[in-house]
Structure 1
Amino acid sequence: MLLQFHPWASAVEAPFWQVLTQRKMDVFQLDDTHKPILGYYATGQQVRVPGRDTSVALPARFCLGTGAFSDESVSEHHNSTSRIPAFMFPAPGIVKNTNTIEDFKSIDKTALFKMTVDQIWDDITSGRSLQDPSTLNRFLLVTFADLKKFKFFYWFAFPALQADPAWTATAMEDITSVWSSAQVDSLRQQINQYRQTQPISQSGFFLVKETNDVFSVARLQDWDEFYAECDESQVTVGFADPSALDSHPGWPLRNLLALIHYQRKMTKVRILCFREIAGKQDMTASKLFTAQVPSYVPVTACPKAVGWEKNAQGKLGPRLADLAPLMDPARLADTAVDLNLKLMRWRLLPDLQLEKVQETRCLLLGAGTLGCYVARSLLGWGVRNITFVDNAKVSFSNPVRQPLFEFEDCLEGGKDKASTAAASLRKVYPGVNAVGHAFSIPMPGHPVSPQLHESVQKDIAKLEELFQSHDVIFLLMDSRESRWLPTVLGAKMKKIVINAALGFDTFLVMRHGIGQDREHQRSRGDPPLGCYFCNDVVAPTDSLSDRTLDQQCTVTRPGLSAIASASAVELMVSLRHHPDGVRAPADKEDSEGDREENTAGGQSSALGLLPHQIRGFLSRFKNLLISGQAYDRCTACSDVVLEAYEKQRYEFLFKVFEDAKHLEDVTGLTKMKEESENLDMEWDDEDDEAMEDM
């Protein structure tokens, strides 16, 4: 009878599509050239029908899993072994992932198929398939990944060479009807030993020889030596058979017969269809039969081939895997966030360090208008760790200006802003680690009563702890003095501090320097950058008491906070990309307003200019890039302030809280002012004498 074969049924594991997505986003990008891939299969299985004394053959499953793509960091042998599950057999192939659905539909599939067939034929004629029989299982996969909708269009081809004339076969016999139980057990042991000692690429194909009821197993390439004293009737070629049918062997046999016919010029061969129950040392389901052709016909050109898989409707056509309904919505959000960012890296910003930005731990001091918009911009950059600090409650005027709050948050006195903002972020994106802390930041010129000293010390300790555990601190408060202690801590711990402040139609966004930073000066030569207080010659003091209504609220044009917040986040991301980090020099503007990169001390950021300060003027729709040096008498980042904080800590801080002028005394500003006043008086005396002479 005509020999017929059980075709493959592709079985793509859902995690494979996730791996393909990662490869597409991180490696392939717009590269649609074909890539190597590894599939696997098991021997055929039958399952019993419950309640009936019959069995049903399972499909010949061809699988792709998480190990489909190679890991170039390990050897090929170890790589292949570790990429497929136990008791499985390898099948190398190629995948061509198209960039658009139109490309997927219009791709020259015939050419791709012929390329794979030619490779199989070349392996057979060159003898490469004897050295690596797994190449007989070469396959082709064409895909299109719609990463926004998590739909994957795909079409498998399993090329098989057609014999002319076709092979015929005797009826398939159970192995137990040909050999005794002891012989079958002996053969099983030999096959197991063969699989354990040979590379996995050899495991699916082998030679069998029986001598006086003793079996031995060898590689295809050992044919001449193995069968040196045997005639053709003693030749048995085995293969791992994925079919479980009683009448049809599996698809891998087609190319194996082509190899035997071409290399050995045989017209008749006994075939062992090796089928095992995985893990149970049972191969009694294996089959034996004899395949033959009428005569040997030399083949000089590549034969015709078949092998495109049919779809679920039984027609030649692609299949669709729609994973969106099966995926965890939180995981969908993760992937979608990463997708938008990684698309930026494909063509526009290949040096974009998305992982570094994503892992940045951001501390937001202030959960008001600036805090809300900064947090949303951070989410847009994929930042996963955001912490709020704010001691206020949500008021009825907040929701329209602060997008993390709603009307219900204002009821019953209002919810805590920090924890509510964090909860809202988690609603927007469940993958974010957002937390909120409700406590006050002590300020210069705001005395602390003795009975509250212990509580304030705990708040300070908590703030110090948060600084230590975060990479970037955003100062988003609504008063000048509330920024003083965070500025001191940022300079002391050498943290990235991004400051944003609003006027009615102006804003300031700046990155703080880290004080005098003499180590930086010695290595770079350029002056260190200043902080928010470096341009002042007066200490920050109480600006919150005795304020009118317009002074109690931050009165700004509604769009200004969003602009300033976005600028603050973009400044942080640019700074994270600079090799010098917090010590990066400032890029400037020339006299005509054209931007110039200051690369004298090092590389600029991959994202472009990296200024020190951005001063925005909404009334003129204009931004100015300004650079300011650190001031050695700064009330926040000068050496004397940092030393006083380090040595005296709470004693020093409570003096500052009691009277902000203590900062002017410590930094020498008081003495400088006195000297300036004396100088003015001396000039006044001289002027008086001159007038008398006239």
Structure 2
Amino acid sequence: MVLQFHSWASAVEAPFWQVLTQRKMDVFKLDDSLKSIFGYYATGHQVRVPGKDATVALPARLCLGTGAFPDVLESEHASTSRAPAFTYPAPGLVKNTNTIEDFKSIDRTALFKMTVDQIWEDITSGKAVLDPSLLNKFLLLTFADLKKFKFFYWFAFPALVADPAWTAGAFQDIGSAWSQTYIQNLHVQLNRYRETYPLSQHGFFLIKESSDNSSMSTTLVARLQDWDTFYAGCNPEQIVVGFADPSSLDSNPGWPLRNFLTLLYYQWRVSKVRVLCFREVPGKQDISASKIFTVEVPSYVPLSTCPKAVGWEKNAQGKLGPRLADLAPLMDPTRLADTAVDLNLKLMRWRLLPDLQLEKVQETRCLLLGAGTLGCYVARSLLGWGIRNITLVDNAKVSFSNPVRQPLFEFEDCLEGGKDKAITAAASLRKVYPGVNAVGHTLSIPMPGHPISPQLYESVQRDVEKLEDLFQQHDVIFLLMDSRESRWLPTLLGARMKKIVINAALGFDTFLVMRHGIGQDHEYHASFGSSPLGCYFCNDVVAPTDSLSDRTLDQQCTVTRPGLSAIASAVAVEMLVSLLHHPDGMRAPADKADDEGDQEGRTQNNQVSTLGLLPHQIRGFLSRFKNLLISGQAYDRCTACSDAILEAYEKEGFGFLAKVFQDAKHLEDVTGLTQMKEQSEELNMEWDEDSDEDI
């Protein structure tokens, strides 16, 4: 009878699609060229139907798992070492198209012929003799819809067609053909064979049937490349070729035999041979399901050209066509969100910003001081950049005027006196994206010129200690508060701990966004020969004082044009991301456009951030729709970041802060501003006296 083969059925594990997604996003990007891939298969066996005296034949499955792609730094065949136990390798090629239109219009015939030609070349060159796993080569076409988590795919398992066709004799159980002693000896030697040789050799092997099939001393198993020496002096009846058979059918061997027979036919002119369909129950040392039969061709015809081939897999409807794996309903929604959040950012890196350091951005820990309008918008923008760790600090509660201007709050948050802003904002962030580590703290920040009563002394001290701990735990500090004096202590702590500080402040139709320098950075001065950049207070010659008392209603609220806070917040976050990409980091000098027409992102300092210019300060004027890039140097008498202030805080600790909270003029005394003012007044007086005499 004409030999019929049990065709492959693809079995793609769900984690494989996740691996393909990662490769597409991080490695392949827009590259749709053919890539190496590795599948595996196990030998076939039948399973008993529970409660019935019947068995079911399992399909011959070729599987793809998480180890399907070789690691970037390993050799292609190293991936086969990650195949599960009791399985056999099948190398393949995958072509992942960029669009569904490409997937539909791809030249399948040409790709299939190319794969067939490779198999034929491996057979004729003898490469498949040295690495028999190449006989199992397959082709996979895919399109990954990463927004909907749908994967279209189509397998081809090329098999060379014999002409004339192979015919088969009766199939025998292995126990009918050989004695149990011989079978046990054969199994022992097959196990030793698999321990001795690499995985690529395991699926195909040679067997020499002993004249005395009870012999325990004869070597029974060898590699294909040992054919000539192994079978030297043997009768044709002693030659048996074996292969790991994925089929579980009684009279239909698995698909790998097709190309194996072509190899035997071409390399050793084999037109008739006995075949062992090796079938093993994994882990049970049971090979009783193995079959033996004789196969032959009616007449030998030398092969000079590549035979025809078949092998495209049918879909679930039994027709030639692709299959669909829709994983969205099966995936954890949180995991879906993680992948979707990263999608836009990684797409940016594909074409526009190949040097984008997404991992560095995502790992940055951000502390937002202020959970009002600026704080809400900054937090949302940070989420857009994939930042996973956000902490908010505020001492206020959500009021009825907040939700329309502050996108992390809702009307229900205002009821019953209002919820704590920082805690509510953090909870809202987690609702927007469950993967974010968002935490809120209800905490007051002590301010210069705001005296503390004796009974609150310890409470304020604990607040300061808590604030110091939060600074230590974070990489970036955003100053997003309503008043000027509330920014003083965070500015001091940022300078002392050398943290990145981003400051945003609003007027009615103007805004300021700036990055602080890191205090009196003498190392910077020595390296660059110029003064380091200043902080929010470096342009002042007076200490920050109480600006919150005795205010009218319009002064109590931050009265700004509604769109201004969103603009300023976005600019603040973009400034941070640009700073993270600058080679000098926190010490990056201030960039300015060469002129108003500069559109190329050039800098005066020849230092470049991946994202373009990196200014010190951006002053925006919404009434004129214009931004100015300015810079300011650190001031050696600054009331927040000068050496004198940092040394006083280092020496006296909270005692120094208490003096400042009691009377902000203490800052002017420490920095020498008081003395400078007195000297200036004396000079003015002398000038006035001289003027009177002249008159």
* Fold equivalence (TM over 0.5): yes
Question: 2 CA distance for matches of 1:672 and 1:102?
Answer: 74
1:516 paired with 2:515, answer no
1:587 touches 1:597 (CA, 8 Å); kept in 2? no
Matched letter for residue 151 of structure 2: F
Q: 2:529 aligns with which of 494, 507, 525?
A: 525
Q: Report the alpha carbon displacement of residue 75 of structure 1 after superposing the two structures with TM.
A: 5.0
Structure 2 partner of 1:309: 313
2:594 touches 2:603 (CA, 8 Å); kept in 1? no
Q: Report the alpha carbon displacement of residue 595 of structure 1 after superposing the two structures with TM.
A: 6.7
Question: 2 CA distance for matches of 1:133 and 1:32?
Answer: 28
Q: Report the alpha carbon displacement of residue 71 of structure 1 after superposing the two structures with TM.
A: 1.2
Structure 2 partner of 1:270: 274
- State the number of aligned residues: 690
Structure 2 partner of 1:239: 243
Describe the shift of the 1:9–1:591 C-alpha distance in structure 2 as closer, same or farther (beyond 3 A).
closer
Matched letter for residue 347 of structure 2: L
Query: TM-score, normalized by length of structure 2?
Result: 0.98
Which 5+ residue runs of structure 2 have no aligned equivalent? Answer: none
Q: Report the alpha carbon displacement of residue 91 of structure 1 after superposing the two structures with TM.
A: 0.4
Q: Report the alpha carbon displacement of residue 455 of structure 1 after superposing the two structures with TM.
A: 1.1
1:552 paired with 2:556, answer yes
Structure 1 partner of 2:72: 72
Structure 1 partner of 2:151: 152
Summarize deviations over 1:518-575 as a string: whole Å, max 9, x none: 1112122232000000000000111111111101100000000000000000000000
Matched letter for residue 566 of structure 1: A
2:91 touches 2:134 (CA, 8 Å); kept in 1? yes
1:580 touches 1:602 (CA, 8 Å); kept in 2? no
1:445 touches 1:658 (CA, 8 Å); kept in 2? yes
Structure 2 partner of 1:52: 52
Q: Which moved more, 1:107-116 or 1:70-79?
A: 70-79
1:588 touches 1:597 (CA, 8 Å); kept in 2? no
Q: Report the alpha carbon displacement of residue 85 of structure 1 after superposing the two structures with TM.
A: 1.0
Q: Secondary structure at the match of 1:588?
A: coil
Q: Secondary structure at the match of 2:220?
A: strand
Q: Report the alpha carbon displacement of residue 77 of structure 1 after superposing the two structures with TM.
A: 5.5
Question: 2 CA distance for matches of 1:544 and 1:578?
Answer: 38
Q: Which moved more, 1:679-688 or 1:175-184?
A: 175-184
Structure 1 partner of 2:508: 504
Question: 1 CA distance for matches of 2:76 and 2:28?
Answer: 21
Question: 1 CA distance for matches of 2:353 and 2:686?
Answer: 61
Question: 1 CA distance for matches of 2:513 and 2:221?
Answer: 76
Q: 2:330 aligns with which of 326, 329, 344?
A: 326
Q: Secondary structure at the match of 1:333?
A: helix
Describe the shift of the 1:77–1:22 C-alpha distance in structure 2 as closer, same or farther (beyond 3 A).
closer
Q: Secondary structure at the match of 2:133?
A: helix
Question: 2 CA distance for matches of 1:57 and 1:604?
Answer: 65
Question: 1 CA distance for matches of 2:668 and 2:544?
Answer: 10
Query: TM-score, normalized by length of structure 1?
Result: 0.98
Write the mapping of 1:2-41 to structure 2, written as runs, cut at 5 A. 2-41=2-41
1:113 touches 1:159 (CA, 8 Å); kept in 2? yes
Structure 2 partner of 1:120: 119
Describe the shift of the 1:602–1:450 C-alpha distance in structure 2 as closer, same or farther (beyond 3 A).
farther
Q: Secondary structure at the match of 2:632?
A: coil
Q: Which moved more, 1:671-680 or 1:73-82?
A: 73-82
Question: 1 CA distance for matches of 2:115 and 2:78?
Answer: 25
Question: 1 CA distance for matches of 2:542 and 2:593?
Answer: 29
Q: Secondary structure at the match of 1:290?
A: strand
2:591 touches 2:604 (CA, 8 Å); kept in 1? no
Which 5+ residue runs of structure 1 have no aligned equivalent? Answer: none
Q: 1:476 aligns with which of 460, 477, 480?
A: 480
Question: 1 CA distance for matches of 2:600 and 2:489?
Answer: 34
Question: 2 CA distance for matches of 1:644 and 1:622?
Answer: 41
Q: Secondary structure at the match of 2:143?
A: strand
1:359 touches 1:384 (CA, 8 Å); kept in 2? yes
Describe the shift of the 1:412–1:680 C-alpha distance in structure 2 as closer, same or farther (beyond 3 A).
same
Question: 2 CA distance for matches of 1:350 and 1:323?
Answer: 29
Question: 2 CA distance for matches of 1:551 and 1:600?
Answer: 40
Q: Report the alpha carbon displacement of residue 306 of structure 1 after superposing the two structures with TM.
A: 0.1
Q: Report the alpha carbon displacement of residue 592 of structure 1 after superposing the two structures with TM.
A: 4.7
Structure 1 partner of 2:625: 621
Matched letter for residue 145 of structure 2: D
Question: 2 CA distance for matches of 1:539 and 1:576?
Answer: 31
1:175 paired with 2:174, answer yes
1:398 paired with 2:402, answer yes
Q: Report the alpha carbon displacement of residue 409 of structure 1 after superposing the two structures with TM.
A: 0.3
Q: Report the alpha carbon displacement of residue 72 of structure 1 after superposing the two structures with TM.
A: 3.5
Question: 2 CA distance for matches of 1:45 and 1:587?
Answer: 71
Question: 1 CA distance for matches of 2:240 and 2:348?
Answer: 58
Question: 2 CA distance for matches of 1:559 and 1:77?
Answer: 57
1:358 paired with 2:358, answer no
Describe the shift of the 1:206–1:334 C-alpha distance in structure 2 as closer, same or farther (beyond 3 A).
same
Structure 1 partner of 2:678: 674
Q: CA RMSD in A?
A: 1.2
Q: Secondary structure at the match of 1:278?
A: coil
Identical-residue share of aligned pairs (%): 79
Q: Which moved more, 1:66-75 or 1:376-385?
A: 66-75
Q: Secondary structure at the match of 2:195?
A: helix
2:602 touches 2:612 (CA, 8 Å); kept in 1? no
Question: 2 CA distance for matches of 1:348 and 1:5?
Answer: 51
Matched letter for residue 177 of structure 1: S
Describe the shift of the 1:615–1:586 C-alpha distance in structure 2 as closer, same or farther (beyond 3 A).
same
1:657 paired with 2:661, answer yes
Structure 2 partner of 1:611: 615
Question: 2 CA distance for matches of 1:418 and 1:668?
Answer: 38
2:36 touches 2:76 (CA, 8 Å); kept in 1? no
1:534 touches 1:631 (CA, 8 Å); kept in 2? yes
Structure 2 partner of 1:141: 140
Q: Report the alpha carbon displacement of residue 45 of structure 1 after superposing the two structures with TM.
A: 2.0
Q: Which moved more, 1:60-69 or 1:45-54?
A: 45-54
Structure 2 partner of 1:198: 197
